[in-house]
Amino acid sequence: MIKGITAAILWYLDRNPGASSTAICHAYPEHRHSVTSALVRLTNNGQIIREKDSMYRYRVAPGVEVPECVELESVPVSPHKSGRQAAINKAKELEKKGLYYRAATQWQRAWDLTGNMTDRSEITKRIKRCHDKAFHPARTSYSGIAIARYVG
């Protein structure tokens, strides 16, 4: 049974034979990271045919059953998206409270759930900012012994 982005790609290629991967990505922008791997999977399974002229173009292979109608809304959204947003909200909340080490941990969790390199670079900046704000140089007592933060 075909479902999700693969069904959407089959439906799209049935109506737009000869489409490029870029055109398919524009048709499903919130799933652009899944389109390439789905195209490879469908090509390897023999469900679509890849042809090269100036760029690779795709069409549905003869005899392949195409789903009736796949609306953009019916393509499932990644479960990581809501988890990422929850981690971002938690990190911002912790930053407001001044808990920068904990906020950095939440930002790292959001980074792990993000596939977009632009978003990852922004999250990396937030992680660095949290570490910079949380860093306190070691204080020395009167005996010269360094007192540092214990993290364990």
List pLDDT tens digits, range 1-58.
Answer: 345 788 888 888 888 889 888 888 888 776 777 888 888 889 999 999 998 888 889 9
Grouping H, G, I as helix, E, B as strand and the rest as coil, residue 146 is strand
Residue 90 has pLDDT above 90, yes or no: yes
pTM score, whole prediction: 0.47
CATH fold of 5-74, please?
Answer: Arc Repressor Mutant, subunit A (1.10.10)
Taking the C-alpha atoms of residue 147 and residue 84, their distance in angstroms, rounded to an integer, is 36
Q: Bigger pLDDT: 43 or 143? A: 43
Taking the C-alpha atoms of residue 4 and residue 31, their distance in angstroms, rounded to an integer, is 10
CB count within 10 Å of CB 81 equals 13
Distance of CA 21 to the CA centre of its chain: 18
Rounded alpha-carbon distances, angstroms, from residue 141 to 134, 146, 151: 21, 7, 20
| Domain chopping of the chain, boundaries | 5-74, 79-134
Taking the C-alpha atoms of residue 37 and residue 55, their distance in angstroms, rounded to an integer, is 17
Q: How many CA atoms lie within 13 A of 63 on its CB side?
A: 2
Taking the C-alpha atoms of residue 151 and residue 148, their distance in angstroms, rounded to an integer, is 9
Taking the C-alpha atoms of residue 29 and residue 60, their distance in angstroms, rounded to an integer, is 21
Question: Residue 61 class from Cβ within 10 Å (0-12 exposed, 13-18 middle, 19+ buried)?
Answer: middle
CATH fold of 79-134, please?
Answer: Methane Monooxygenase Hydroxylase; Chain G, domain 1 (1.20.58)
Contacts of 99 (CB under 8 A, 6+ apart): none
Q: What is the pLDDT of residue 74?
A: 43
* Percent of the chain topping pLDDT 70: 75
